[in-house]
Each structure stands twice: as structure tokens, then as C-alpha cells.
Amino acid sequence: MGRRKIEMKMVKDSSSRQVTFSKRRTGLFKKANELGTLCAAQVGIVVFSPGGKPYSFGHPSVEAVAERFLNQDGKRKVSIPSQVVDQSQREARVGRLSQQLNTVLKRLQAETKRGEVLNESRRKPINELNLEELLEMKESMEELREKIRGRISEIEASYSLLLLSKIAVKLKQA
């Protein structure tokens, strides 16, 4: 389909707004990471979702950037409670884990599509295959099965870490 210019106005539908927020937040954090990496800049971003949930990103960390910002003239202007910093670091980690999970899911989808394309291109009635071709097909299918199992394990691990991080944040907030 391709990209198209989106008029800059608030998204009316709340579910669409949440999806837009999630996608844009990921892009914003990615660009901030690139800026920090390419320019050796210290970057800190704090964003609140439409539901009021805070998300943060910092390079090298939100705490370091905030401390530097607050101590620009050498005097401490405001102190940041350690609980807020710990929570923001957890939320940043949850954001990074979420990004990793999305990346793994995209890779899994790409591999699945690639497998489907390969299967489509190699369509030949199975009864017309000779023994060597059948053995090769069996080996390929076993390799594919192992790759899929590995990807599923990666996804389950990432998902578990993401859930544990979210639970820890909720428990800390309570």
C-alpha cells in the first residue's frame, strides 16, 4: 500500500488513537536512540499515553539525562525520588522488551510468509517426487519446524518478561 500523508489532527476513535500512539511512540523512541547513538547526545523522553500511562526513554538513561537537566547551573533545582526513577527505568525496559517482542513477531511473520512462498514455488505432486527429493523435503521441513520452535520459544520468553515487568510496575504503583 505504501505511506501516505496523514493530516495532523487528533484521532477521534479511542482504539485507533491507542494504536497510533503505540506505533508513533515506538518510532519516536527509535529516532531518539538513533540521535543519541549517532551524535553522542544525551536524550530523555517522557510520554503519557491517552490512558494516562507513562512511558520513558533515555540515552544513556532517563535518570542521567534528568539529573543533568536539573543540575545545569550546578545547583540542584528539584530532586527526583528514587521510586520515580526506578519506575521510569522499569517502564523504559518494558518499552524496549515490547519493541523486541514486536521485532521477533515481525521476523516470525516474514519467515512464515517466506516458507509459504517457497512451498508455493516448489509445488509438485508428492507422488511425482523421487526418493532423494522426498528426503530433501523431509530435512527441509524438520529444519523449518526447529526454526519455528526456536522462534516460539523466543516469543514466549519475551512475552513472559514483558508481563513480569508490567506486573512489577503495577505492584510498585499499588
Q: What is the pLDDT of residues 43-59, one digit of tens each?
A: 999 888 888 888 888 88
pTM above 0.75, yes or no: no
* All cell numbers assigned to 46: 517522557
Q: Are 25 and 47 in contact (CB under 8 A)?
A: yes
* All cell numbers assigned to 6: 496523514
* Average pLDDT estimate for 120-140: 78
Q: What is the CATH number of domain 13-80?
A: 3.40.1810.10
* Average pLDDT estimate for 108-123: 75
Q: What is the pLDDT of residues 18-27, one digit of tens each?
A: 888 889 999 9
Domain coordinates of the chain in residue numbers? 13-80, 81-174
Tell me which H or E stretch contains 122: none
Average pLDDT, the chain: 81
- Residue 75 CA to residue 55 CA, distance in Å, equals 27
* Average pLDDT estimate for 114-118: 74
Q: Is the pLDDT of residue 82 over 80?
A: no
Q: Is the pLDDT of residue 64 over 80?
A: yes
Question: Which pairs from 38-41 meet CB under 8 Å and 24+ separation?
Answer: none
Q: What is the DSSP letter of 129?
A: -
